[in-house]
Amino acid sequence: MAPASLLWLIRHFPAGAMDGLRRTALRRTVRLAGRRSRFYRDKFAALHIDPERVRDLADLRDCETTPEECRAAPPDALLCGRPDLVVESSGTSGRVTRLYLSHAELEYYARQGVILLAMMGAGPADRILGAFEYAWGLGGIYTQRIGAHSGLFGVFPGLVDPAEAIERLPEYRFTIVMGDPFWIARFTEIAMARGVRAPMTGFVSAAERMTERLRGLIEDYWKAPVYMTYASTELGASLGAECTEKTGYHLHEYDYAVEILNPDADGFGEVAFTTLTRSVMPLIRYRTGDVARLIPGRCPCGLPFRRLSAIRGRNDELLACVWGNVHPGLFEDLLRGVEGIGDEWQVALRQPGLRRCSSSVSNPRPVPPPWRPPRRGFGPISPNSIPPLGQDRAAPVRHQGVSGASRKSPDGAEDPPAGGRAGRMTPMTSGGAEIRWTSGGECHIFDRLNAF
């Protein structure tokens, strides 16, 4: 079925019928896991759950699957069928996660991925550049298979030097670029430095958060939208994707049953999912560690699926203090517009003494460091002078993802040295907070009430 036709069918599919199909798929998945997976057979027995009697997610409220359990279990304990391939990723946790799939499952997910191209308005004249990494992960091969099912011309070199992609742009004339936020940002920086422009239909990104400021800079330069997707190794594909409205991720509810666990007063909680169409390694109420909420109301685009908000942070990134559960997004809002701070930073909480939150950035300089993708190395990029993306953006320093992350530092820390330049921040609580720059180019955020 053509992507546009499939999208039309989804828009007009009766909501009641979709709910019925989802419940049927959930019952089938739970029974399969109870019969064939040693991991879930033991878990169900310990929780006194009869998989044959499960009708909906409410019957599984005591059953949750954690990444730690999956990593500790023997691989074959999670399997319900014979796998054809395995993919892995350390993701944001730094610990290896593995997913076993069949070729049929990979191809199915790739066909579903074509829906995103239809949501973007892709047509026969569009050409794809796939720049997600291959290595041991899913991104490269998944993108390549989406291209194969789309019927569009495509180039899928994986995580190459962005300068090489710019050099090939006049010849291959790709109009849809797929890659992680850092790669797309670097691709844009090099294009700006060389004065390269080309018609673009859009960019598709995943793997990390992208600040709205960085997204705006990329979209302004190429005059094309950036669409974010929610994907992970455990999912085996994409849990959701933005439409042209860009008001949240439309959940792929025909493949996953999605829940928000332990929501707070604003609806934010941990994202959990149950696979509905996987027979080799199904996962039931798998806790992702990502914090988000469901967006009420229906999207103006007409898709019937619920929407998931942007990921606010991870459970292991939250810092508890008198401000509440502090997440990276809070500091993203506070640091936005502060001179000398770019889109990449790191926040740390240190004790004892004056407890401080330190945002590690670099002083602005005319030449960003050479492109160095994870686990690979390339030589310096030409031309030698590549201006930063935007007039006030610091040179990229990659720490914990594009938009930063919170963490606790095990070492004690003294007050930072005085000097450098100082900035001010709107008070976050009575007494407020203050930004100080050190002569070494480090920015420190101080809480005057010792709130941390």
Looking at per-residue pLDDT, the higher value among 433 and 68 belongs to 68
Distance of CA 269 to the CA centre of its chain: 16
Q: What is the pLDDT of residue 13?
A: 78
Q: Find the mean pLDDT for residues 22-43.
A: 97
Residue 245: which residues within 8 A CB-CB, separation 6 or more?
299, 300, 301
Please state, for a pLDDT cut of 90, what percent of the chain lies above it.
54
Tell whether the model's pLDDT for residue 431 goes beyond 80: no
Q: Find the mean pLDDT for residues 299-320.
A: 84
Tell whether the model's pLDDT for residue 368 goes beyond 60: no
The residue among 217, 216, 226, 221 whose CA lies nearest residue 194 is: 221
Tell whether the model's pLDDT for residue 80 goes beyond 70: yes
Give the model confidence (pLDDT) of 242-298 as tens digits. 999 999 999 999 899 999 999 999 999 999 999 999 999 999 999 999 999 999 998
Do residues 145 and 106 lie in contact, with contact meaning Cβ atoms separated by under 8 Å?
A: yes
Q: What is the pLDDT of residue 304?
A: 86
Query: What does the alpha-carbon distance between residue 109 and residue 186 come to, in Å, rounded to a whole number?
Result: 29
Query: How confident is residue 446, by pLDDT bands cut at 50, 70 and 90?
Result: very low
List, as own/partner pairs, every contact residues 30-35 make where C-beta atoms lie below 8 angstroms and the sequence separation is at least 24, other chains included. 30/54, 30/60, 30/284, 32/80, 32/279, 32/282, 33/80, 33/282, 33/284, 35/80
Do residues 322 and 451 lie in contact, with contact meaning Cβ atoms separated by under 8 Å?
A: yes
Looking at per-residue pLDDT, the higher value among 245 and 446 belongs to 245
Q: What is the pLDDT of residue 51?
A: 97
Bridge-based pairing of strands 249-251 and 238-241 is antiparallel
Looking at per-residue pLDDT, the higher value among 35 and 334 belongs to 35
Q: What is the pLDDT of residue 91?
A: 56
Do residues 114 and 149 lie in contact, with contact meaning Cβ atoms separated by under 8 Å?
A: yes
DSSP 65: B
Give kind and range of the element (H or E) at residue 21. Answer: helix 15-36
Q: What is the pLDDT of residue 387?
A: 42
Q: How does DSSP assign 291-350, residue by residue?
A: EE-EEPS--TT---S-EEPPP-EEGGG-EEETTEEE-HHHHHHHHTT-TT--S---EEEE
Q: What is the pLDDT of residue 271?
A: 97
Query: What does the alpha-carbon distance between residue 186 and residue 408 come to, in Å, rounded to a whole number?
Result: 29
Q: What is the pLDDT of residue 325?
A: 66
DSSP 37: -
Q: Find the mean pLDDT for residues 132-141.
A: 92
Q: What is the pLDDT of residue 43?
A: 97
Tell whether the model's pLDDT for residue 319 goes beyond 90: no
Specify the range with the lowest mean pLDDT, choosing from 80-94, 330-344, 371-385, 393-407.
393-407
Tell whether the model's pLDDT for residue 305 goes beyond 80: yes
Query: How confident is residue 94, by pLDDT bands cut at 50, 70 and 90?
Result: low
Tell whether the model's pLDDT for residue 90 goes beyond 70: no
Looking at per-residue pLDDT, the higher value among 326 and 206 belongs to 206
Query: How confident is residue 25, by pLDDT bands cut at 50, 70 and 90?
Result: very high
Looking at per-residue pLDDT, the higher value among 102 and 254 belongs to 102
Tell whether the model's pLDDT for residue 116 goes beyond 80: yes
Average pLDDT, the chain: 78
Give the model confidence (pLDDT) of 222-258 as tens digits. 999 999 999 989 999 999 999 999 999 999 998 999 9
Q: Which domains does the chain show, CATH number per domain?
A: 1-312 (3.40.50.12780), 318-361+397-452 (no CATH)
* Phi, psi for 314 (deg, rounded to 5): -120, 155
Please state, for a pLDDT cut of 70, what percent of the chain lies above it.
69
